[in-house]
């Protein structure tokens, strides 16, 4: 999988959030998109995943050297971000079943294994609305990591997680990020220390 940005910019009203981004994201590599709060990381994240169009420039996607239309990209990526909502009327069990109607499990993972990975005993039938913010974040991450997609995109992945949760996140990276195009939007070193490439959004102001 490859994502190519050519002179990408995004603005709100007359203010440019970023512009002139020329960058290529390649399958199997790990990338950190860096910047302070409010710098535009999440906006670039939304442009990369196809949920927000650029104000300038072009973005192209390719899978096995074959072009993909932006409308197709969602099939090939997994997302987790603090602002992405879970369906709070669902129980944990129902949320997992719903998610994997649209994505396949990674090899070796099934519902039972994912539930065990979450380590939330007694929560299978608990409604998501009664989960703590940390429990919700763990679920978002587990759904993203355990889906068999070539792209993994995480925005502020350890938001609402305690120290134990951070260690759990890093264990997911070890188990499930290998071989995927992984993009982390962050300003916390522990979230992206494993990334081999870094793009600082402030370089494109």
pLDDT in the model for residue 36 = 86
Is pLDDT at 132 greater than 90 in this prediction?
A: yes
Q: Kindly report the CATH number assigned to the domain that includes residue 173.
A: 3.40.50.300
% of the chain with per-residue pLDDT over 90: 87
**Beta carbons of 79 and 68 less than 8 angstroms apart:** no
C-alpha torsion 48→200→161→78, nearest 10:
20
Residue-level pLDDT at 173? 96
Residue 9, φ and ψ in degrees, nearest 5: -145, 155
Bridge partners, residue 153, by sequence: 79, 183
Q: What is the pTM of this model?
A: 0.93
How many domains are contained in the chain? Answer: 1
Q: What percent of the chain has pLDDT over 70?
A: 100
Q: What is the pLDDT of residues 66-109, one digit of tens each?
A: 999 988 999 999 999 988 899 999 999 999 999 999 999 999 99
Domain that holds residue 152: 2-204
Please give the average per-residue pLDDT across 10-24, as a whole number.
93
Residue 78 pairs in a beta bridge with: 152
Residue 96 near residue 114 (C-beta atoms within 8 A): yes
The yes-or-no verdict on residue 32 having pLDDT over 90 is yes
Beta strand extents in 27-162 (DSSP E only) = 30-34, 56-63, 66-68, 77-80, 151-155
- pLDDT over threshold 90, residue 65: no
């Amino acid at each position: 999988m490859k994502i190519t940005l050519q002179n990408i910019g995004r603005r709100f009203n007359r203010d440019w959030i970023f512009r002139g981004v020329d960058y290529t994201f390649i399958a199997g590599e790990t990338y950190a998109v860096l910047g302070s709060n409010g710098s535009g990381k999440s906006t670039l994240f939304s442009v990369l995943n196809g949920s927000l169009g650029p104000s300038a420039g072009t973005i192209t996607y390719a899978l096995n050297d074959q072009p993909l239309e932006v409308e197709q990209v969602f099939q090939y990526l997994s997302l987790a971000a603090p602002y992405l909502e879970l369906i709070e009327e669902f129980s944990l069990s129902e949320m997992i079943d719903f998610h994997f109607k649209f994505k396949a499990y990674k090899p070796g993972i099934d519902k039972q294994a994912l539930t065990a990975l979450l380590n939330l005993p007694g929560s299978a039938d608990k409604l998501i609305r009664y989960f703590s913010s940390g429990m919700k974040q763990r679920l978002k991450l587990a759904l993203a990591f355990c889906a068999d997609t070539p792209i993994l995109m995480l925005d502020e992945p350890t938001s609402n997680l305690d120290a134990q949760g951070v260690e759990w996140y890093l264990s997911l990276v070890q188990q499930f990020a290998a071989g995927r195009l992984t993009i982390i939007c962050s300003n916390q070193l522990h979230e992206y220390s494993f990334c081999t490439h870094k793009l600082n959004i402030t370089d494109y102001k």
